[in-house]
Amino acid sequence: MDISLVVPLLNESASLVELHDWISRVMKENGFSYEIIFIDDGSTDNSWDVIKSLASGNDVIVGVKFRRNYGKSAALNKGFELAEGDVVITMDSDLQDSPEEIPGLYKMITGEGYDLVSGWKKKRHDPFGKTIPSRFFNWTTRRVSRIKLHDFNCGLKAYKNDVIKNIEVYGEMHRYIPVIAKWNGYKNIGEKVVAHQARKYGSSKYGMERLIKGYLDLMSITFVSKFGKRPMHFFGTFGTIMFLIGFLAAAWVGAQKLYYLSHGIKATLVTDSPYFYIALITMIIGTQLFLTGFLAEMIARTSSDRNRYQVSEYIHK
């Protein structure tokens, strides 16, 4: 099979028939063998009824309905689990992503050797309340991940099947699939300018809260990817540095007291100095960080995937 198209959705019944017809026309014009995987993420409208109607007598449609809303990451992860195509393409169900981009994305994966291609909505049909925070978010993610993409959050992406079978998407991590892929060894990541359609039906499911969640997720995935198997390197380093700073500060306060006493200079009690308490708190925090790293290291060593690594090829005797 050439293409698996994964379409997560939430209360998008008005657009599904039009989206299906558009996808089918593009696929037939280009002679692709394909499947469309609709993941209904707990819709409360009649989206699932529309999907069942489209699937009736149509063997290219796969449908999954969640009992409740789990989020886009969960929907994508389930779609990746089911996808069988050589190239897996994700797109939103609101008609803002154009199926006309599918042939170009497919060619970049199969013909140009990319592991992953992310869409770039260079010209957006969104209000400033979404575009300005999005630009700042993308700039920050570029700086942290060192992946030169303009639009990490674009729903229109293409992957080699091998990529989606070797990554896990959870929480709100769908925004960082290129980052997850890179840190799993898939570094050939490309970008394609794609058309962005104005929303035709319904309303956006994302508000300003995604900006806060986005940065928390970025911090989480950065830490887990770099220190997930060696947390002591992070906590132990900072803990040791803080303890040494506190210890040296306390030693300085004590040495100053001894100097004054040896020279007959009247000196206040060590416990009357604010620097003594600052030094003490710094040593306590350093100790706590070190112990946190130690405990995290013990947990990591007993984890079932502590020796799980990404392997791209085997040579057997």
- Give residue 180's pLDDT: 87
Pairwise CA distance, residues 48 & 104, whole Å: 30
Q: What does the DSSP 8-state code read for residue 158?
A: E
Rounded Cα–Cα distance for residues 254 and 121 (Å):
62
Give the chain's largest Cα–Cα span: 99
Whether the per-residue pLDDT at 131 is higher than 70: the answer is no
Q: Rounded mean pLDDT of 211-232?
A: 68
Q: What is the arithmetic mean of pLDDT over 50-62? A: 91
What is the predicted pLDDT for the residue at 141?
Answer: 80
Q: Stretch 42-66: mean pLDDT, rounded?
A: 92
User: Tokens 């995604």, residue?
Assistant: 210
Confidence check: pLDDT of 311 > 80: no
Q: What was the pLDDT predicted at 283? A: 94
- Averaged pLDDT for residues 221-241: 77
The predicted pLDDT at position 307 comes to 47
Percent of the chain with pLDDT over 90: 48
Please count the residues of the chain. 317
Instruction: Go through 224-254 and write b for each residue having 16 or more CB atoms within 10 A of its CB, e for each that does not.
Output: ebebbbebbebbbebbeebbebbeebbeebe
Pairwise CA distance, residues 183 & 310, whole Å? 10
Q: What percent of the chain has pLDDT over 70?
A: 82
Q: What are phi and psi of 31, to 5 degrees?
A: 70, 30
pLDDT at 212: 66
Q: Which residue has the higher pLDDT, 292 or 197?
A: 292
Note whether 120 and 43 are within 8 A (CB). no
Q: What is the pLDDT averaged over residues 121-138?
A: 70
Q: According to the model, what pLDDT value does residue 126 have?
A: 61
State which amino acid sits at residue 1. M
What is the pLDDT confidence band of residue 224, given thresholds at 50, 70 and 90? low
Which is more confident, 100 or 276?
A: 100
Spans of all domains in the chain: 3-227, 231-302
List pLDDT tens digits, range 10-46: 999 999 999 999 999 999 999 999 999 999 999 999 9
pLDDT digits (tens, 9 = 90+) for 146-188: 888 988 888 899 999 999 999 888 777 888 899 889 888 899 9
Buried b (16+ CB within 10 A) or exposed e, 163-178: bbebbebeebbbbbbb
- Rounded to whole angstroms, the Cα distance separating 115 from 108 reads 9
- CATH 3.90.550.10 for domain 3-227, yes or no, is yes
Task: Report pLDDT for 253.
Answer: 87
Looking at residue 202, its pLDDT comes to 64
pLDDT at 227: 67
pTM for this model (two decimals) = 0.72
Per-residue pLDDT at 54: 93
